[in-house]
């Protein structure tokens, strides 16, 4: 009796979508890691500018004038909250997440400038002219934006340079000019940045 030769077990064709989902997810993560951060919200920048102008106006109210630092800390908290709100809205509209790699790099690049500003403010308030503190705020904020601008939309880098230039000039301005500079910087530059982003990259 002859032995029947062993035949290889026949298998069906490999599904064309086998592993496709994993591959697509990997490709998407790779693209997101190298992608330009386009989620900077133009409306959020405009809201930040309006908040800054409101803070400048609040300082002109005599009872609040001695509490200028508290006014600006409050304005900074409100401005950051508004920026994050509009950023989340824009990310949702783009189908993106603020947890992606490029978004994390954006925030981590900006965070050291914010922390440095807070430390310097705590160390210098009451010891130096207010213009020096104002100049440090603008200079450090501009430094953070310039660094973020390397992988964000070009307008962010341009705004960062403008903040740095204004902050540098402020360090040599006479006493009494802080309000004007703050209005020009956190008010005017933010409004210009927001308008540019809305026009070229959507809200």
Model confidence over 61-113: pLDDT tens digits? 999 999 999 999 999 999 999 998 998 888 888 787 777 666 777 788 889 99
Residue 21 belongs to a domain: no
- What percent of the chain has a predicted confidence (pLDDT) above 90? 59
* Residue-level pLDDT at 31: 47
Residue 93 belongs to a domain: yes
Q: Is the pLDDT reported for residue 171 higher than 80?
A: yes
* Residue-level pLDDT at 203: 73
* Residue-level pLDDT at 22: 66
pTM of the model: 0.80
Q: Is the pLDDT reported for residue 153 higher than 80?
A: yes
Mean pLDDT of the chain: 84
SS3 at position 150:
coil
* Residue-level pLDDT at 151: 79
d(CA 26, CA 59): 52
- Domain of 116, in residue numbers: 38-201
Burial of 176 (0-12, 13-18, 19+ CB in 10 A): exposed
Residue 20 belongs to a domain: no
* Residue-level pLDDT at 148: 87
d(CA 203, CA 201): 7
Residue 15 belongs to a domain: no
Residue 8 belongs to a domain: no
Band (pLDDT 50/70/90 cuts) for residue 191 is very high
* Nearest CA-CA partner of 113 in 180, 160, 54, 156: 160
Residue predicted with more confidence, 149 or 197: 197
Contact assessment for residue 66 and residue 39, using Cβ atoms and an 8 Å cutoff: no
Residue 26 belongs to a domain: no
Residue 91 belongs to a domain: yes
* Residue-level pLDDT at 10: 52
4's CB contacts (< 8 A; 6+ apart) are none
SS3 at position 170:
helix
Contact assessment for residue 189 and residue 166, using Cβ atoms and an 8 Å cutoff: yes
Q: Buried b vs exposed e over 93-113: b needs ≥16 C-beta within 10 Å?
A: eeebebebebbebbeebbeeb
Model confidence over 7-44: pLDDT tens digits? 555 555 555 555 666 666 655 555 444 456 677 889 99
Residue 3 belongs to a domain: no
d(CA 119, CA 170): 19
Tally of domains in the chain: 1
């Amino acid at each position: 009796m002859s032995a029947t030769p062993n035949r290889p077990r026949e298998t069906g064709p490999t599904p064309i979508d086998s592993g496709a989902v994993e591959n697509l997810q990997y490709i998407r993560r790779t693209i997101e890691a190298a992608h330009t951060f386009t989620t900077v919200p133009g409306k959020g920048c405009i809201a930040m500018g309006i908040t800054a102008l409101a803070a400048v106006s609040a300082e002109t109210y005599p009872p609040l004038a001695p509490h200028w630092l508290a006014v600006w800390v409050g304005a900074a908290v409100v401005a950051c909250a508004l920026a994050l709100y509009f950023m989340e809205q824009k990310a949702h509209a783009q189908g993106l997440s603020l947890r992606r790699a490029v978004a994390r790099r954006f925030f981590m690049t900006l965070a050291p400038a914010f922390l440095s500003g807070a430390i310097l403010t705590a160390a210098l308030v009451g010891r130096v002219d207010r213009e020096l503190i104002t100049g440090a705020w603008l200079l450090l904020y501009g430094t953070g934006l310039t660094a973020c601008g390397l992988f964000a939309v070009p307008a962010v880098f341009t705004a960062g340079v403008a903040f740095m230039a204004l902050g540098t000039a402020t360090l040599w301005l006479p006493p009494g000019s802080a309000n004007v500079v703050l209005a020009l910087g956190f008010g005017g530059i933010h409004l210009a940045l927001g308008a540019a982003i809305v026009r070229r990259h959507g809200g």
